[in-house]
Amino acid sequence: MFAVRVGAYVNATTTDFTALSSLGFVHATPAANDLSIVYSGRFDKAAVAEGVAQKLISMGYVNAEVVEVNLNAGTKGFVVQLLYQRGDRFVDWQRLSEAGDLFVIIEDINIKVVTGIFADRAAAQRNVSRIRSLGFNDAFVREENTARLHPIGVFETAQESRLAKGAATGLPQTYDMPVAKADPLPADNVYVAKRSSSRRSSVRALQNFLRSENLYTAEIDGIYGTGTENAIRSFERRDPTWAQYLAQARVVLREEFPVSADPLQQDLDNFLTDAAANARVQSSNEGIALGYRAFSLFVSSGPSEAVNGLMNMAIKQVYDNFSMGSIPPFEFQRKYDYPELDLLIQHLHFLHHEPRQTLAVPCWLFDRYRDASAGAYTGLSVISMDIEKVKRCNPVLRWESIQAMFLLANALSASGQTLAIPYFNALLMAVYPEGVSRAEMTELDEWQSAFERKLNASAGKNAMQKSYRLSYLLNRVYLEDHFTNLGFDDTQARYLAIRWLRNALIE
């Protein structure tokens, strides 16, 4: 039997994962420091579990992986079944808990809710009358391998109630190490969590280009659909230049965003998704690790002198013998109190930007604590900021189409046909964009018109310029989707995309 491990999360409940419920019953096992290891479904076939893992990765749960449920760890037990239904339907856990401690038997998308565990069949049968008197008229006894029983707790119910106590019932640890890690989908398929269904001028421009290449024959409707996607794929298959630069982009991505071999970096990256990594950081006395121990303590227990002590010790260790020839991002020599988590988050970022530090900022810090992280870089001078320590957290820079666009721009510039020279100066505009004012909209419209006139004038001259034009049109659409997924409306998303391109493609 197999399950899909989604990841580890602090103070999580099932309501945080409602979007996953159609894939399998979402459940969790508790870990240290208020962490919950979250799983989706249980499946008889590994291939089915792999399909769910791939789907989760496409939804942004990039650490999703298949794990095996060790049924040999269980023993024979007797329970009383109360309910059988689809796992994505509402369950009145409070009502069901009147029957006793609750467990679920998870079978793909379906669940059986049971109570127990009873010493033998006779003991279970004696409880059936009591349970039926509570209104559970269909209750009956069943024999079950205890490894198949998942105890219902605070995560599943999202409330403190009468909950099954796994330790008291002697339930075994049933999840083994991963048996297969889901491979990420091709980069083009994971650019955005959801594409806009609006009719957009950017998509019309892309469709017109594809029609001029005799690849798009449907209506120019401004909606990015299957026809548009197929035409883009056809261009890649037909045009060796575009295919070549996409291949080069993959090489660049492997070189620019390598997987770190540093054990502490790996543990920080997986601090919220891997209980073992979390435990290793908690036992470390390295300066950076002390900062994350302070963070974990604050999240679990709130502000305290212990939090202050750990964080100030981290700052002292990391900034010990700091060269005053450099500009520090904050007053590292003073003692700090941390009544709010935001200040602690900002200081975690500053620890990474000490010039001698080699550890990059873990990207979950940006994702989970957006406002506090943005505040760190508002006050962090350009001189103090090491872009190498944060650029990997910009999802846009990891797109093949963006890297191909940069490579094409560089090649055109090197050949004397200067259209644009790319710089990695749009990092924070993708991660923490500010809204666009009406005055700036006018400026961006003027820039885009001028830039596209230049593209259109040169697009027919050679294959490289044609590919560059496609890359710009394609990335404009993808960027709009990216900003829409960050919560901006269509108008703001349109201008944020143009702003990003203007700043990434400096003429």
Average pLDDT on 341-365 reads 89
Pick the range with the lowest mean pLDDT from 173-187, 361-375, 486-500.
173-187
Residues 192 and 171 in one domain: no
Residues 180 and 203 in one domain: no
- Does 460 have pLDDT greater than 70? no
Q: Which residues pair with 79 in a beta bridge?
A: 116, 142
475: which 2 tokens?
């990335």
What is the chain's mean pLDDT, rounded? 81
Residue whose token pair is 């885009």: 448
Classify residue 36: in a domain, yes or no.
yes
Residues 144 and 70 in one domain: yes
Residues 169 and 220 in one domain: no
Residues 6 or more apart in contact with residue 279 via CB below 8 angstroms: 32
Classify residue 117: in a domain, yes or no.
yes
The residue out of 161, 184, 207 marking a domain boundary is 184
Pick the range with the lowest mean pLDDT from 72-81, 264-273, 276-285, 377-386.
377-386
> How far from each other are the two terminal CA atoms of the chain, in whole angstroms?
57
Q: For residue 161, count other CB atoms closer than 10 A to its CB.
A: 16
Residues 10 and 113 in one domain: yes
Residue 122's nearest CA partner among 146, 100, 143 is 143
Residues 128 and 178 in one domain: yes
pTM: 0.56
Residues 275 and 421 in one domain: no
Residues 226 and 198 in one domain: yes
pLDDT by residue (tens digit) across 76-129? 889 999 998 888 888 888 889 889 889 999 988 889 999 988 888 998 999 999
Contact 253, 400 (CB under 8 A): yes
Contact 419, 504 (CB under 8 A): no
- Does 192 have pLDDT greater than 60? no
Residues 93 and 140 in one domain: yes
Whole-number pLDDT of residue 206: 94
Chain centroid to CA 78 = 40
How many domains does one find in the chain? Answer: 3
Better-predicted residue by pLDDT, 160 or 134: 134
3-state secondary structure at position 358: coil
Better-predicted residue by pLDDT, 251 or 30: 251
Residues 207 and 271 in one domain: no
Residues 121 and 137 in one domain: yes
Range of the domain at 460: 187-238+395-506
Question: What is the DSSP secondary-structure string of 244-280?
Answer: HHHHHHHHHHHHHSPPP--HHHHHHHTTTT-HHHHHH
Classify residue 250: in a domain, yes or no.
no
Classify residue 256: in a domain, yes or no.
no
The residue out of 338, 368, 393 marking a domain boundary is 393
Residues 282 and 339 in one domain: yes
